[in-house]
Structure 1
Amino acid sequence: MLLRGQRFRLWLHRAVEGRIKSGNFSQDARGRWYCNLVCEIPCRQGGGREEFGVDLGLKSVATCSDGTRLEQARFYRDLEPKLAEAQRKGRKRQVRTIHAKIANRRKDTLHKFSRALVDRARKITVGDVSASAMAKTRMAKSVLDAGWSTLRGMLRYKCDHAGVAYAVVDEANTTRACSSCGCLSGPTGLVGLNVRRWTCSECGAEHDRDRNASVNIARLGCETPRPARHGSPAF
């Protein structure tokens, strides 16, 4: 590859599709360089038939309205002792390596989950939980391990590439509202965060906290118009 008179040797990890529009170089925590290419390719029509609501959380990173779950992994916490030791001894290279390992493990898990979900979907709706706000609380390490923002980003671009509708909705009260009758009878407050299963006081339906929220999110997604694509008329 020739760039500004300089020749670079590149190893392609996959074939380049479409027409290359732009690109840049980036360096990871281990000091490895990557060439990132932006390519223009036609949108594909998704083959999935299901509509999913996705509730993002800490006990389960993601709970889907069909019951599929991505359980929380301890990417950061498992390597935290080694990271602390390396930082204490001033081993900067080892610190970079550990951070890269944490990021790679998290991304690999999120890539596999998002790919499997998009392949089955015709629409995916996600709650708008704020990762940045919760990262300032005592749950910060769990939020970092969850990787909500990364997962949402992966779902967004994979949906766009596959022709699958994608929406983010206000998830207020989706945990409390009964997905069977709509009554706001779910647990509230800090104490309510520890209640994983509850029974609706109005209709008697029994709910798993996260599954109930994801069903409500999916329902909100049905009320949200599909975002217009670039070059398409917005109806």
Structure 2
Amino acid sequence: MTKTMSQLPYHYGVKLRVFPSTEQKRLIKRNSDASRFIYNQMNGMNNDLFWLKQVKIPITIVLDRIADLTARLKKPSTAISNIHGWLNHPDFDSLMKANAIKNYKTAWKLFHQVHRAGTPKFHKRGYTQTYQTSCLYSAKVTVPTMENGSVRLIDNRHLQLPKLGYLRFKELPLRILDRAKDIRIGTTTVSMDAVGHYFVSLQIGSEYSFAVKRPVVKSKVGIDLNLDNFLTDSNGQVIDNPRYYRVIKGKLAKAQRKLSRRARRAKRSQRRLSEAKNYQRQRLLVAKLQLKVANQRKNFLHHVSTTLIKNHDLVVAEELRSKNMLRNHVLAMSISDVGWRTLLNMLSYKADLYGRKFLTVNPQNTTQTCSHCGYVMTGKNKLTLADRKWTCPSCGTFHVRDHNAAKNILAKGLATL
């Protein structure tokens, strides 16, 4: 019996840069707008139903409306398409509609599980586009692969998607191409960023691992993340903080001021911003500067995380709550620029990919504790952010603050194993 996507033991994600034609760009925009519209319709119906149920007086019109909304939400795809007939146009991918409804239900499910991100919000129209479709396999297909589904590879430079047809993509990793017959495709996301670059993200699954398990090297490391330098490990190695945003901050601020002036000028002349060519040209320039910073940071974090995972059997880091730390307006920009949370996420999935172990520990007192004797600096001896080096008053051991913290983090991680 053929396994479903969720039953496969190994999953991986691939994001491909694609180059659609003018007609394909039009179809992508239409499907993206329709996906957003369906999501918002679901949100609107649920909001109406919630507030109508707060009415305690049994008014007939209210009860009828509640019954109507309840019936429509049982089969939302049919209900929305019946009322908004334009959604039945052949330009639209039927799987796009199903995925938009599924994403809305998933958002509610996450809210009930986590209660941190809040209830689903209405999606606003912006300069980006995105929608999801799925790869379906015919009942005649006995072995699903990357080459026989509704989303399929044609060759090492082209793929086929529902409604869009053939799309040329930039490149696919050789380890994926060589195993195309052992891999199946699941959810597929088509997107366009603010710069105008188009991408196709493939969720793929297989019975076999997507990366070769790394040999045991008998090495363990603890890492301390900080703003003075990006990272210090328990072996004393230091990685400098590149501060990509600060490098480009002045140039970006100047470009954004120019963008603001052009927006005001367009409004004074009663032109829509979408039709103001000077505004759009400057908006594109600002988006490219922001994209450059994001790509530089992502590339740096990938190199750091891959090096740590490949060279150590165990990596231990402190569990940082970046959202809470961003409330400090003095350090907020530096914390956002450094990308700690992204690094921890990368370490987590790469550890699974390469067969390594990654742990996060509570950072409490890792800075204030002597890694040699365990003495905790409290009261008037408590270290401040300015104290980068100190000597333990109990055993007399000299410490570099970040190196000592990394040792304590590693010790905490080993204690939990």
TM-score band, normalised by the shorter chain?
Answer: 0.7 to 0.9
SS at match of 2:409: helix
In the alignment, does 2:336 pair up with 1:167?
A: no
In the alignment, does 2:177 pair up with 1:177?
A: no
Task: After TM superposition, give the deviation of residue 222 of structure 1 in Å.
Answer: 0.8
SS at match of 2:416: coil
Whether contact under 8 Å (1:29, 1:96) holds in the other structure is yes
Separation in structure 2 between the aligned mates of residue 27 and residue 188 of structure 1, nearest angstrom: 50
Identical-pair percentage: 32
CA RMSD of the aligned region, Å?
A: 1.8
**1:92 aligns to what?**
283
Candidates 156, 161, 165, aligned match of 1:3: 161
TM-score normalised by the chain length of structure 1: 0.88
Separation in structure 2 between the aligned mates of residue 94 and residue 188 of structure 1, nearest angstrom: 48
**1:231 aligns to what?**
none
**2:11 aligns to what?**
none
CA separation of 1:29 and 1:64: change in aligned 2, threshold 3 A: farther
**1:38 aligns to what?**
203
Separation in structure 1 between the aligned mates of residue 232 and residue 382 of structure 2, nearest angstrom: 20
Greater RCO (Cα-Cα under 8 Å, separation 6 or more): 1
Which protein has the bigger helix share?
A: 2
Whether contact under 8 Å (2:318, 2:361) holds in the other structure is yes
In our comparison, the structure showing a higher alpha carbon Rg is: 2
Which protein has the bigger strand share?
A: 1
Candidates 195, 217, 224, aligned match of 2:409: 217
Which segment drifts farther, 97-106 or 13-22? 13-22
- Paired letter, 2:307: A
Unaligned runs of 5+ in 1: 226-235
Whether contact under 8 Å (1:73, 1:145) holds in the other structure is no
Separation in structure 1 between the aligned mates of residue 399 and residue 184 of structure 2, nearest angstrom: 49
- Which digits, 9 at most, give the CA deviation of each residue in 1:104-163, with x for residues without a partner? 111111111111111111011110122222222211121122110111111111111000
Whether contact under 8 Å (2:389, 2:398) holds in the other structure is yes
- Counting only pairs closer than 5 Å after superposition, residues 112-151 of structure 1 correspond to structure 2 as 112-137=303-328, 138-151=330-343
- Counting only pairs closer than 5 Å after superposition, residues 22-101 of structure 1 correspond to structure 2 as 22=186, 23-40=188-205, 41-42=208-209, 44-47=212-215, 48-90=217-259, 91-101=282-292
- Paired letter, 2:183: R
Count of matched residue positions in the alignment of Structure 1 and Structure 2? 223
CA separation of 1:170 and 1:73: change in aligned 2, threshold 3 A: same
Whether contact under 8 Å (2:365, 2:376) holds in the other structure is yes
Which segment drifts farther, 199-208 or 67-76? 67-76
